[in-house]
Amino acid sequence: MNPTKAKLMLAVTDLLKEDGIAGLSARAIAARAEVNQALVFYHFGTVMDLVDQACRAATDEAAASYRDELAEVTSLSELLELGRGLHERERAAGNITVMAQLLAGAQRDKTLAETARYALGRWNDEVEAAVARALEGSPVESVVDAPGLSRAISSAFIGLLMYDGVDRPGAESAFASLEQLGALVEVIEDLGPAARLVLRARLKGRG
């Protein structure tokens, strides 16, 4: 990989984390990378193509870095614990912030929408596998499916980190509540077989 290309791609995600998609421009990116502005177009053709490649690469890297950790998850309790740590780290790392800004920009730009879909999918590949394992043998297995739950977790993280950007205490209390509801599910998970049957019967009677 050409060092200038690498510098430009890194500058994109840095700026996305700090300033968001709104103020992103070829000149801002080049300045951040300490590189001549014309090189953006020499190496990537258009600004959007640079953003696309930078975000895909960053997503691949981020997903891979969480891969081993997610691979060890075998229960909802472990998933919940991992979520707590991930939330803290993501505040500093900003991978989810990049995704949130991608989603915000996707409304306008179709190229960006495609990039966002890729990032969402890539991220989900890792999360869904862990969720599926955590759900296995759990009494809530018959209630929720792994594809849906993993996407719910992802979107909740995205919403939470955006909320965090303007109201940190509020986001903190929101996350605490979600954790407590998660603990509730854990309690159910630890229920005896008799209680499980009662629960399953009651849930059957609903939507």
Which residues contribute to the site for a copy of itself (CB under 8 A)? Answer: 18-23, 97, 100-101, 103-109, 113, 116-117, 120, 124, 140, 143-145, 147-149, 151-152, 154-160, 162-163, 165-167, 170-171, 173-181, 183-188, 190, 199, 202-203, 206-207
And the tokens for 204? 């059957």
Let me know how long the chain is: 207
Site string for DNA, 4-23 (x = CB under 7 A): x------------------x
CA 23 to chain centre: 22
The label of the residue with tokens 């989900």 reads: 124
Least distance between DNA and beta carbon 30 (Å): 8
| Burial profile 15-45: b = 16 or more Cβ within 10 angstroms, e = fewer | bbbeebbeebebebbbebbebeeebbeebbe
And the tokens for 130? 């862990």
Residue 26 binds which one of a copy of itself, DNA, none, with CB within 5 to 8 A depending on kind? DNA
How many Å apart are CA 39 and CA 46, to the nearest integer?
10
Least distance between a copy of itself and beta carbon 2 (Å): 28
**Best CA proximity match to 121, nearest among 58, 73, 63, 162:** 63
Least distance between DNA and beta carbon 47 (Å): 4
Residue 167 binds which one of DNA, a copy of itself, none, with CB within 5 to 8 A depending on kind? a copy of itself
**Selected range binding DNA among 9-17, 26-34, 105-113, 118-126, rule: CB under 7 A:** 26-34
| Residues contributing to the site for DNA (CB under 7 A) | 2-4, 23-28, 35-39, 41-43, 45-48
